[in-house]
Structure 1
Amino acid sequence: MTERWITGLIKINSLDIGYKKNIVSRNINLEIGTGISLFFGKNGTGKTTFFRTLTGIMLPLNGNIYYDGDKLRDGSIVKDDISILTHKSGLYSNLTIRENLDYWKSFYRNNLSTITEALLREFDLNNITDRVVRTLSKGQTQKLAIIRSLIPNVKYIFLDEPLNGLDVKSKIKFSEILYELKKNKTILISTHGFSDFDIENSNKFIFYNQTIEPYGKVVSEIWGDSIYIEITMGNKIPQEVLKEFNIDEIGECTYSCSFESKVMKDKFYNKINGLDIISVKTTENQLKSILSD
C-alpha cells in the first residue's frame, strides 16, 4: 500500500471558484485530511461549485488543488480515487435499483467495496431492488443515490447536500454509516443545516465572507475566545447577578454576556436556576444566522 493511499490529504492553495469572470468564492486555502469534513453555507455561497471544482468537473479560476501531493491538472483526476453525490441523482429512471447499481459498479470494477447489500438493508431497499427508479419516492431515490456513492472503495467521497429528502430515521442511519467509513476515508459533506450532523466529531468549515474558513476561526473572529450568550427572560435577572457576571441588558428582559470558560457559563446558569427563561442564543445559534437563507 502506497503512502499516497494512506494519507488521503487534499491541499488547496489560493483557490478561486466560479464561472468565467464571476467569482463565487475566492482565496480558499485549506488542508483536508482523513475523516469527515463538513462545509456549511447558505444557498448560493458556492458549496456545489466548490465540490465540482475539487472533483475536476469544473476548472478553477485560479489556484491549485493537490491530492496527496499530486496536482489536479486540466480538470482530470484518477476516477478510481473519487466518488461523488451531486444534487441531481444521476440515476437512470428506466432502470431498476439493481441495474443502476450494477451500471455504476462497472466504472469501478477493480475498486469496489463489499457493503452494497448491507447498505440496501440499512436503507430498506433490499426487498425492492427490482423496482424501476421512476416509481420510487423522493426519499427512496435519495437513498439509492447515497448507496451508489458509497459502494466504490475509494479514498475520497464528496456528498453534496446528502440529506435532502431523507426522513429522520434515514438521516440517523446515514450518519451512523458515515462514522464507520470515516476511519480510512476522506469524506467531504456540504450542507446548509447546521444541526444535521454531529459536528463535534468532524472538521468544520463555513462559507463566510466569500471564502471558506475553519469553523473555529469564524467563531474567534466574531466572538473572540469567549462563549457568547444572548438570553431572553420572562422576568428580570437580579442586579447582583448582572454585576457579578458583567451582563448587559440589551432589551426588555433580554441580556447578552460572554463567558471566558464553560465553568463560568455553568455558574451563571446555576444563579438563574428557577427563573423563567424564554430563549437562549449561543455561539452556534448565532452562526445559524450566517447560514440561513
Structure 2
Amino acid sequence: MSDTPAIATDSLRKEYGTAVAVRDLDLTVSHGEVFGFLGPNGAGKTSTIRMLTTLQEPTSGTATVAGESIQRRERVTPRIGYLPEEPPVYPELTGRENLQYVAGLRGVAADDRIETLLERFGLAEAANRAVAGYSKGMKQKLGLIGAMVHEPEVLFLDEPTAGLDPRAARTVKDTIADVSERGVTVFLSTHILPVVEELGDRVGVLQDGQLVAEGPPEDLGSRLGEDADLEDVFLNVTRSRASVGTVGEQ
C-alpha cells in the first residue's frame, strides 16, 4: 500500500464573500481509517467535504484524495464514493434502475454487486418499485449502495444513519466496519456520537472552520478524565466558542 495518505489537506480554505467557512485546514487521514469528522452546525464540515469530493473549489490551499490532487476532478471522482446528507436518488426510477444508472455513470458492470448490496440492506423486495414510494430510510440505504457500487478507495459519508431504524443502522455500521477492514478509507461526518465512538479510529472536531481537537476517541476522552466520553470531549472543545457566531454551512 502506498505511503501517501488517503486524504491530506494543506492550509485548505473556503470563503464565501467575506465569510470564512473553512480556515486553513491541515488534516491527514491514513488508508483504511474510519475518520470521524465532527462539529456543530455551521462549523464548516459540509464545505470541507464538498471540497474534498471536488464539488467545490477551495479559495486557497491544497488537498489530495486517494493520492490525487482535488484540482484534478477526473482523477479523483472514479476513486471516491460520496453519500451526502440528502441522498441523490431519482424518484421516478426504481431502486434497481437508480443503481444501474449510477454504475453506468461510473463505467462499471456491477449487476452482481448491486444484487448483493440490495440483499444486504434489505432492499431486494423493493428494488423494482419506484423510489418515489420509498421511505426516508430506504432512500438513505439506496444512496449508500450507490456510493459503494463501484468499490471506491475513499468513502465520504454525511450522516449515513440518519432516518434509519436500529436494524438498518446496524447494517450500515457493520458495512462501514467491513469496508474499512478491506482497506477502504471512510470519512464519516455525523452528529450521532456513539457511531463514531464505536467505529472511529480517529476523530477530528471542527469549530468555526478550524480543527480544535484530533485523535483516537479514547485518547481524547482520557485527557478530560477517566469517565469522559466523546460527548464530553465535543462539548468541552466547542464550549469556549459556542457564543461566537458561526458561518452557515454552504
Q: For 1:28-47, list aligned pairs within 5 A.
A: 28-35=25-32, 36-47=34-45
Contact 2:205/2:234 (8 A) holds in 1: no
Contact 1:38/1:205 (8 A) holds in 2: yes
Q: CA deviation at 1:285?
A: 3.6
Contact 1:39/1:47 (8 A) holds in 2: yes
Change (3 A) 1:131 1:8: farther
Q: Greater CA deviation, 74-83 or 188-197?
A: 74-83
Question: Does the residue aligned with 1:195 lie in a helix, a strand or coil?
Answer: helix
Question: Does the residue aligned with 1:205 lie in a helix, a strand or coil?
Answer: strand
Residue in 2 aligned with 1:103? 101
Q: CA deviation at 1:78?
A: 3.5
Change (3 A) 1:153 1:114: farther
Q: CA deviation at 1:112?
A: 5.0
User: Structure 2 length normalisation: TM-score?
Assistant: 0.82
Query: 1:17 is matched with which residue: 11, 14, 28?
Result: 14
Contact 1:11/1:30 (8 A) holds in 2: yes
Question: Does the residue aligned with 2:193 lie in a helix, a strand or coil?
Answer: coil
Runs of 4+ aligned residues of structure 1 deviating over 3 Å after TM superposition are 67-70, 74-78, 110-115, 197-201, 216-220, 290-293
Change (3 A) 1:212 1:69: same
Contact 2:68/2:75 (8 A) holds in 1: no
> Equivalents in 1 of 2:130, 2:199: separation in Å?
39
- Structure 1 gap segments, 5+ residues each: 229-264, 266-280
Deviations 1:90-147 (A, max 9, x none): 2111000011010000022247595322221122111111110011111111111111
Residue in 2 aligned with 1:216? 215
Question: Does the residue aligned with 1:78 lie in a helix, a strand or coil?
Answer: helix
Residue in 2 aligned with 1:282? 228
Deviations 1:32-78 (A, max 9, x none): 12121110112111111111011111011110012355432276543
Q: For 1:209-288, list aligned pairs within 5 A.
A: 209-216=208-215, 226-228=223-225, 282-288=228-234
Residue in 1 aligned with 2:63? 65
Change (3 A) 1:113 1:27: farther
> Equivalents in 1 of 2:177, 2:218: separation in Å?
25
Residue in 2 aligned with 1:207? 206
Residue in 2 aligned with 1:185? 184
> Equivalents in 2 of 1:217, 1:185: separation in Å?
18
Q: CA deviation at 1:18?
A: 3.8
Question: Does the residue aligned with 2:85 lie in a helix, a strand or coil?
Answer: coil
Change (3 A) 1:114 1:19: farther
Residue in 2 aligned with 1:134? 132
Change (3 A) 1:150 1:59: same
Deviations 1:254-278 (A, max 9, x none): xxxxxxxxxxx5xxxxxxxxxxxxx
Percent identity of paired positions between Structure 1 and Structure 2:
25
Change (3 A) 1:184 1:139: same
Alignment root-mean-square deviation, CA: 3.0
- Structure 2 gap segments, 5+ residues each: 243-250
Contact 2:68/2:76 (8 A) holds in 1: no
Query: 1:144 is matched with which residue: 142, 145, 149?
Result: 142
